[in-house]
Every structure is written in C-alpha cells, then in structure tokens.
Amino acid sequence: MRAKIKSGLSIIKITEEDINKQLIKQLSQLLTYSEPENFEECKKWWEQWFSDKIPGEKLTIIAKEENNIIGVTRFWKTPFCNNKWLIEGLEVIPLKRRKGVGKAIVIEGVRILRGITNEKIFVNISNKNIESKRLHEGLGFKKISSGSLNSYGEYRNHIDEYVLEV
C-alpha cells in the first residue's frame, strides 16, 4: 500500500515480500544516521524484528523519497506490555525533519491499524522530546502517565505514556 503525500515522497507499509538485505541495510543506515558505529548491531536488530525472534504482531511503515528511505516507524503489539499496540520508534533523517514526514508515517500506520482493530494505540515519549510530544498530541494522542513501561516491560521514569483512543 503506497500513499503519496508530496511529489517524490511515498509512505509504504512493509510486507514480507519487501524484506531483503537492501531494505535492512537502508533501515539500519537510517537508525544509525548519527551513530554509524552502531550499524552492524542495528542490522541484526532489524533482522530479528522481521523474524519471530521479536514476538508479537508488528507493522512497519517507511517514508521513501526516490529510492531512499528517509523515515520509519514501527507499531508493535508487544507481549511484554499486556499485548497493547505501541508506536515503537519514529525516526526521520535530520535533513527531512519538521517537514511532515514523521506525521505522515504515523497517520498511515494508524489508518492501517484502524482497518484491522479497534484497540487503543499507545506511544511512549521521552519527557524531554518536545517535538515528538507536539506531533503526537496534534494527532489526538493524550498523555495518561508520567513514567511508563517501555515496549519490553521495563519501567522508565523519564518516559511519558500517551494513548490514541478509537
């Protein structure tokens, strides 16, 4: 499924057929954009994400410009947090931030999830990440707690939890 938001930019749901070494390489480069020394570790993580080594239902949405991945978010129905849907990471390369890319990725993921479930969608945001808070609040997410369990069920005092209800 592809949704154009402006010329040259596509928002794409990753399917099993899309997963290959090149995709994993591009996603790893995106997540290690500022920390290239972590590339190999990140690559292993993506391989696990697209396998059963990380349990739970998963949905991955990317933003592409031409043939380059410039943003990604993951939605995860994590078994470590009572099987609730979490937005697990939203990354956009620095040069493309504040241009609607992250917002478009989240909107597409929420749209897809709404087509398959009526469950609430949660997001955990560092209490220092003002831009992410603004983005999610602008999409209707409401803060429900200061301090929260991360996606692996570990409590983090500096994380605020938000929810988007149906």
Identify which of 95, 110, 97 has the alpha carbon closest to the alpha carbon of residue 61.
110
Average pLDDT of 137-146? Answer: 95
pLDDT > 70? residue 2: no
Element (H, E) at 107: helix 101-114
Angstrom distance (rounded) from CA 121 to CA 156 = 19
Strand partners, 35: none
Distances (CA, A) of 15 to 20, 59, 133: 11, 9, 28
pLDDT band at 155 (very low <50, low <70, confident <90, very high): confident
The residue type of 40 is E
Q: Tell me how many degrees the CA angle 109-114-118 measures, rounded to the nearest 5.
A: 135
Are 72 and 30 a contacting pair, CB within 8 Å? Answer: yes
Q: What pLDDT was estimated at residue 4?
A: 43
pTM confidence score: 0.90
Q: Both tokens of residue 145? A: 């707690």
- How confident is the model over 84-135, as pLDDT tens digits? 999 988 999 999 998 999 999 999 999 999 999 999 999 999 999 999 999 9
Is 60 exceeded by the pLDDT of residue 149? yes
CATH of the domain at 32: 3.40.630.30
Model confidence over 6-25: pLDDT tens digits? 567 899 999 999 999 999 99
Number of domains forming the structure of the chain: 1
Over pLDDT 70: what percentage of the chain?
95
Residue 46: pLDDT over 70? yes
Above 50 in pLDDT, residue 77?
yes
118: domain range? 2-164
Distance between CA 129 and CA 152 in Å, rounded? 20
